[in-house]
Amino acid sequence: QKEVEQNSGPLSVPEGAIASLNCTYSDRVSQSFFWYRQYSGKSPELIMSIYSNGDKEDGRFTAQLNKASQYVSLLIRDSQPSDSATYLCAVKVGNDMRFGAGTRLTVKP
Amino acid sequence: DTAVSQTPKYLVTQMGNDKSIKCEQNLGHDTMYWYKQDSKKFLKIMFSYNNKELIINETVPNRFSPKSPDKAHLNLHINSLELGDSAVYFCASSLRTSGYEQYFGPGTRLTVT
């Protein structure tokens, strides 16, 4: 089983819709969870971090964490074409950061 | 006011050569990392240094040798380059080792011919 799993996509949503990105992880002692956005040819850019169960909102982004289910998600409200990118889920266990393979999101005008 | 910088941005070289990539951060972070992102876009950690000391050394060929002269710099030297080393190499830094967000440099695209 992969340590951090994401649906590779592509996920396509129309402009203005909600995009929902999901991630599951295998290590129960994982403490810190992150979402990164990576545009083609660019470096990963931190969007959100979440450390405790529940929801965390920042502008159009909401991260959701459920440690019992080992599940973390990212919702993007009012999706814009500029949100089209690959979204990487990352899970930190101690000193180690493990990344998922990423979900490619396309927002169509 | 670049946070994490890497040089060079592109590196094209032949098999068997030795090359280095440099990384610097001006964020005052204690921990720095090297990642490799292959053609399938999978991002995998290679090394982590905390205050100039190696704390993570994943299963990486010993042709790869990191060096941290001070906590703001982490360089990567690669000996006897192979075709499979072609990838994008990202440097990153975080305030501390555990639980903190990592910030990435712009990447170095290495092509071995």
pLDDT tens-digit series, residues B87-110:
999 999 998 877 688 999 999 999
**What does the pLDDT look like over B39-91, one tens digit per residue?**
878 899 999 988 888 887 777 899 999 999 999 999 999 999 999 999 999 99
Say whether B101 and A34 touch across the interface (CB within 8 A). Answer: yes
The whole-number pLDDT of residue A108 equals 96
Q: Does residue A46 sit at the B interface (CB-CB below 8 Å)? A: yes
User: Rounded to whole angstroms, how far apart are CA atoms B8 and A96?
Assistant: 26
Q: Does residue A49 sit at the B interface (CB-CB below 8 Å)? A: yes
Say whether B106 and A102 touch across the interface (CB within 8 A). Answer: no
Q: How far is A79 from chain B (nearest CA, A)?
A: 23
Give the nearest partner residue to A92 out of B42, B55, B99, using CB atoms.
B99
Of B8, B79, B82, B73, the residue nearest B34 (C-alpha): B73
The whole-number pLDDT of residue A66 equals 94
Interface subset of A 16-45, CB within 8 angstroms of B: 31-32, 34, 36, 38, 42-45
User: Rounded to whole angstroms, how far apart are CA atoms A22 and B17?
Assistant: 42
Identity of the residue numbered A12 = S
**What does the pLDDT look like over B19-37, one tens digit per residue?**
999 999 999 999 999 999 9
The whole-number pLDDT of residue A44 equals 96
Say whether A43 and B98 touch across the interface (CB within 8 A). Answer: no
The whole-number pLDDT of residue B99 equals 65
User: Rounded to whole angstroms, how far apart are CA atoms B70 and B77?
Assistant: 16
Q: How far is B96 from chain A (nearest CA, A)?
A: 9
Mean pLDDT, 10 residues at a time, chain A of 109 residues = 82 96 89 94 95 95 94 97 96 85 95
The whole-number pLDDT of residue B56 equals 75
Interface subset of B 3-42, CB within 8 angstroms of A: 33, 40-42
Of A53, A38, A2, A36, the residue nearest B101 (C-alpha): A36
The CB-based long-range contact list for B17-22 (8 Å cut-off, 24+ gap) reads B17/B80, B17/B81, B18/B77, B18/B78, B18/B79, B18/B80, B18/B81, B19/B77, B19/B78, B19/B81, B19/B110, B20/B75, B20/B76, B20/B77, B20/B78, B21/B75, B21/B76, B21/B78, B21/B89, B21/B91, B21/B108, B21/B110, B22/B73, B22/B75
The whole-number pLDDT of residue B63 equals 95
User: Rounded to whole angstroms, how far apart are CA atoms A51 and B5?
Assistant: 28
Q: Which residues of B touch A95 (CB under 8 A)?
A: 48, 55-56, 97-98
